[in-house]
Structure 1
């Protein structure tokens, strides 16, 4: 399997299915979204870029919390769904492999990049664009598949950086990059970021009854996601 993904939007053909899955699904609604939103913290009155916005589930919550949201996704259908779901947002089709030329320098207070890092070939170039558009006191919040969970599922060398294919419960076949945690930290460093927090979330006890099996699994093992809050490194300005 070639070690590149290209720019084809893998979620285009499953966008509507993904919305139905992620809207209330345990891993998305009760695990990743709460973790990212906690790291974003207070967003009222802030300009937030929702990169790889998907069907607008994060953007919807950000607007409710008082943010001004600009979002983009490589999937035209995902952008359509975001526009329908969040009329107050400003959404467009844009590929993560391309510069954010339509955004001025230092124009965003926050960048949210949820569960899409692993679908990008040149992650450093993309992260540098996020750094460019962030204000000096801004922050990037990203989440990614937990690298230990990837390794437990796929085997091989934990430290190998490679493309894998996985079939999910909905029958979706997706290709993505496997990489150790150190690689993600190094890519953030190369892009000019300083990691402020790294969170390995666990679901809250209040949601145990929704999915007892996954609740127990995620409380016990790193099989899900992790989330990082990074800031522009003031020492490198």
Structure 2
């Protein structure tokens, strides 16, 4: 399944590099503003890991706030897109979130993972590594699909199961199969608190610009959340 996920995002890399930043309201005017609001405006002297960097939008933003940034993605094409965006200003590697991470203990002040963890089947290894490489009192900030959203993609409607879903994305005239794992809210929360202390749980709301651009979608999102954001603190 990892290879299918890698292949899907290799195929999606061109869209992420050239159109998502300007055309996807769900990224531009929903998830990204809510995530960035949870980070300091000034990240100077701070070490940040962009865990699942895609085409590097977050990597670029962290650099703009003064951080020293490491970025990683499972897709080689996404890694190359990030390198084209930020050059040598960040350390960008092709790495799997579900494996051992080649970073020293207590390396990072923040680990930020945008819409990436639902592509990982088992979070325990990932969170164990995140806890190891986060500094004491460092923060993990991540976003995933909201359980109330992705249950509608489940054929079995088995809410409490951690379930493999094959979604279908239409990009640039082609349909791409994108596998991911859906989880219940209690599973998400319990996995996090095994390793961290939860600081905030956020259900992001669309911006006013989203409302102006797509009022029908805005109304739907105000009734049924699309994403879930968790901010958690390292207990060490």
Taking structure 2 as the reference length, what is the TM-score of the superposition? 0.91
After superposition, the C-alpha distances for 1:28-55 in whole angstroms (9 at most, x for unaligned) are 1111111111122344211100011100
* Alignment counterpart, residue 195 of structure 1, candidates 191, 194, 198: 198
| CA distance in structure 2 between the partners assigned to 1:152 and 1:14 by the alignment | 23
Distance change (3 Å), C-alpha of 1:55 and 1:65: same
Q: Which runs of 5+ in 2 are unaligned?
A: none
- Asked whether 1:107 is paired with 2:130, we answer no
CA distance in 2, matches of 1:232, 1:95: 21
5 Å matches for 1:1-237? 5-8=1-4, 9=6, 10-24=8-22, 25-45=24-44, 46-87=46-87, 88-101=89-102, 103-154=103-154, 156-170=157-171, 171-190=175-194, 192-222=195-225, 224-233=226-235, 237=236
C-alpha deviation, 1:158, in angstroms: 1.3
Paired residues in the alignment total 227
Q: For the residues of structure 2 that align with 1:50 and 1:225, how far apart are their CA atoms? A: 18
Secondary structure in structure 1 of the residue aligned to 2:37:
helix
- Between 1:25-34 and 1:208-217, the stretch displaced more is 208-217
Contact 2:153–2:167 (CA under 8 A) maintained in structure 1: no
Paired residues of 1:49 and 1:70 also in contact (CA < 8 A)? yes
1:150 Cα shift?
Answer: 0.8
Q: Is the 8 A contact 2:197 2:234 kept in 1?
A: yes
Query: SS in structure 1 opposite 2:2?
Result: coil
Q: Over aligned residue pairs, what C-alpha RMSD do you find? A: 1.5
CA contact (8 A) 2:139 2:233 kept: yes
Provide the secondary structure at the position in 2 that maps to 1:172.
Answer: strand
1:100 deviates by 0.8
Greater displacement, 201-210 / 173-182: 201-210
Cα distance in 2 for partners of 1:63, 1:6 equals 29
C-alpha displacement of 1:19: 2.8
Structure 1: which 5+ residue stretches go unaligned? none
Deviations 1:125-153 (A, max 9, x none): 01111111111121000000001111134
Q: Secondary structure of 1:105's match?
A: coil
Give the whole-Å Cα distance in 2 for the aligned partners of 1:145 and 1:136. Answer: 28
